[in-house]
Structure 1
Amino acid sequence: MGYVKGLYPPARCSQPFGNCSAGNSDKEPFIVVHNMLLAHAKAVKRYREQFQRKQGGSIGIVAHTHMYEPLRHVESDHQAVNRLLAFKAGWIFDPLVFGDYPPEMRQFHRSELPRFSTEETECLKGSIDFIGINHYSTLYAKDCIHSHCPSGGDHRFIKGFAYTTGERNGIPIGDPTGVGSFFVVPRGMEKIVDYVSKRYKNMPIYVTENGYSPPQAVPNSVHDVNRIEFHKGYLAALARAIRKGADVRGYFIWSLMDNFEWAGGYSSRFGLYHVDRATMERVPKLSAKWFRHFLANRRTMIAGTGANATVM
């Protein structure tokens, strides 16, 4: 968003990805991530050498990633799914676990993708104690190497030469939400956690973000039954991944309260608590009460619908 499309600060990009006064969408994102990874590894090295023994802390890193499913029942779309996951999660995690970028990226970005020195590789390798993933949704993936895809999109760059969409034959992959690329697809949680667990030798995993914002047309209500159903579905999927062996240590709902959500401002409402913008009063939504019961391992039931719904 900052260096490909240029929609967030520092607003650097180039055509056809975006319209910015300066930037290079084909090169700068690789440099930015490269420097971020090296800075992370050096900070971890310093922490482990000077502070970890006394403080007992651990350091991980977080990447946002969708899960993907093939748009068509063809081998090329299955390969597109694998590339997308490597270009999303693997771009960040592979260097910190294995010491280099994913081979799926090296194959297509030979000259653009920076190289790590031997010393840098040794510093990078194993420089995380846990993996954090922000996961909200699943999209369909279509191969763009052997198939025609829309021109001008970032599918040829950071999306592993794959086109993503939330619809197949006009039918959404899941219920829409207040964010255009986020659909309610609980099965994706099980799949993405399973993928990360297997690719990275069952390292400890934290789901650092997972949440629901209602469509913009839905009235801002504290009786948020849809949010409860969202978390029920995603937590059940997460439990299935854990039962299959994934070492999941924690799960964080985004968010405690309605917040200022990037360029969406106050229009997106992810919170368990409603915030009155005029008075700043915080009111627990039905989902906050449900989550309190869930954490206390109490059986819950939702009585009524809409404005009359209540947690029992």
Structure 2
Amino acid sequence: MEDIDLIAKLGFGAYRFSISWSRIFPDGLGTKVNDEGITFYNNIINALLDRGIQPYVTLYHWDLPLHLHESMAGWLNKQIIEYFALYADACFASFGDRVKNWITINEPLQTAINGYDVAVFAPGRSENSQIEPYLAAHHQILAHAKAFSLYQRKYKDKQGGQVGLVVDCEWAEANSNKIEDKSAAARRLDFQIGWFLHPLYYGEYPEVMRERLGDQLPTFSEEDKKILFNALHFIGLNHYTSRFISHVRECTGENYYYKVQEMERIVEWEGGEAIGEKAASEWLYVVPWGLRKILNYVSQKYATPIFVTENGMDDEDNDNLPLHEMLDDKLRVRYFKGYLASVAQAIKDGADVRGYFAWSLLDNFEWAQGYTKRFGLVYVDYKNGLNRHPKSSAYWFSRFLKGGENEGKEE
């Protein structure tokens, strides 16, 4: 509750959080609702609304009930589509009178590739990386569509909410004007977001994926296509960074997903200068212009309202630095200024952007990186009672949201 007070105090009008499937159905099967879980989320939702903060709720952010993995191989089994629909139904029924913005699945790409190819996320599989990631993705797409269809049929008229899917994407900028590099950059975008959005608009995977993966890529039945068509009210876009892309025939040392794309991701301009300032995570460079480009790309290609559902950067956890230095996060302030300016430019370009969420409110558990990376606007003191300390970026956002200074022009 103190955190929700803090959200209100900083001036944010919306808060995006995830429901854990296991907290609603501990076995994942939808047989018996866990009332304590329902109460827990009711308390959060009501507290947000009491303070004038709109809840944006994600149903699945990579935490599959263990029983579903152990008993039926989780996302590799087509049955999971039905179980996900039962879970979504329970959430719509329990919370949909107050929650009007739903996200079915967060970053299905990461579940598929990091879970079933690179193996750094649960369930940590890499034994069959030519088949399993594409099967896991296929079932997530259909699970999303099934939940959307259920909402439309059963809840839309009564509750009046909207349902979207969150995809993640680095912007892919061709490394040169060569046709091979431009094709590689286009291919990269299709393998990131086309993979998940194309089926919802065209009933098929992108042509380049079908060509390169052949029989390894599952197909949609005619019945599937009916449920897939236009099965979303909005696109959620998680974006952090960008890369230059060049065509290569041989990708050395990469996992299968990258090899099949025949491209290299480059983090330097031609002269050797970094593409942007580097954050703590090895993959994260500060490249504000990439957000404008990806928003325009998605807007032009799919013509659906967009929410930027995650955007932010991390600092390294450092016990040796005094607290006041950890709190003075100048690079994060520069990051948000640059990226928000990019959002404003994309809106002027014609992109239908409806909202923006900073990642994240608090320093948190970053999956494979644990607590070593800090993305929060608010510092969490892990050694002293989890005390919260707003960073400079939190105060900057607070002024920005309250229309104080002309923040975008400062630097």
Tell me if TM exceeds 0.5. yes
Counterparts of residues 233-244 of structure 1 (less than 5 Å): 233-244=338-349
Counterparts of residues 135-154 of structure 1 (less than 5 Å): 135-145=239-249, 149-154=250-255
Amino-acid identity (%): 40
Q: Which amino acid aligns with 2:235?
A: I
- Which residue number corresponds to residue 55 of structure 1? 159
TM-score with structure 1 length normalisation?
A: 0.88
- Which residue number corresponds to residue 88 of structure 2? none
Superposed CA offset, 1:190-217 (max 9, x none): 00000000110x2100000000113567
**Aligned partners of 2:165 and 2:259: how far apart in 1?**
19
Q: Which amino acid aligns with 1:192?
A: I
- SS of equivalent residue, structure 1 residue 69: strand
- Which residue number corresponds to residue 224 of structure 1? 329
**Aligned partners of 2:168 and 2:371: how far apart in 1?**
21
**Aligned partners of 2:142 and 2:407: how far apart in 1?**
49
- Which residue number corresponds to residue 393 of structure 2? 287
Superposed CA offset, 1:149-182 (max 9, x none): 4423137647722111223454311111111111
> Which is worse superposed, 267-276 or 154-163?
154-163
TM-score with structure 2 length normalisation?
A: 0.67
- Give the CA deviation at 1:114: 0.9
- SS of equivalent residue, structure 1 residue 231: helix
The ranges of structure 1 where at least 4 consecutive aligned residues each deviate by more than 4 angstroms after the TM superposition are 155-159, 215-220
Are 1:34 and 2:138 counterparts? yes
- Which residue number corresponds to residue 382 of structure 2? 277
Out of 272, 296, 300, the residue aligned to residue 402 of structure 2 is 296
RMSD after superposition: 2.0
Where does the alignment leave 5 or more consecutive residues of structure 2 unmatched?
1-113
- SS of equivalent residue, structure 2 residue 290: helix
Counterparts of residues 91-106 of structure 1 (less than 5 Å): 91-106=195-210
Aligned residues: 290
Where does the alignment leave 5 or more consecutive residues of structure 1 unmatched?
14-22, 303-310
Contact 2:251 2:258 in 1 (8 A): no
Q: Which amino acid aligns with 2:328?
A: H
Please state which structure has a larger fraction of its residues in helix: 2
Are 1:172 and 2:274 counterparts? yes
**Aligned partners of 1:46 and 1:244: how far apart in 2?**
35
Are 1:199 and 2:312 counterparts? no
Q: Which amino acid aligns with 2:179?
A: E
> Which is worse superposed, 156-165 or 179-188?
156-165
- Which residue number corresponds to residue 353 of structure 2? 248
**Aligned partners of 2:359 and 2:158: how far apart in 1?**
31
**Aligned partners of 1:160 and 1:189: how far apart in 2?**
22
- Give the CA deviation at 1:261: 0.8
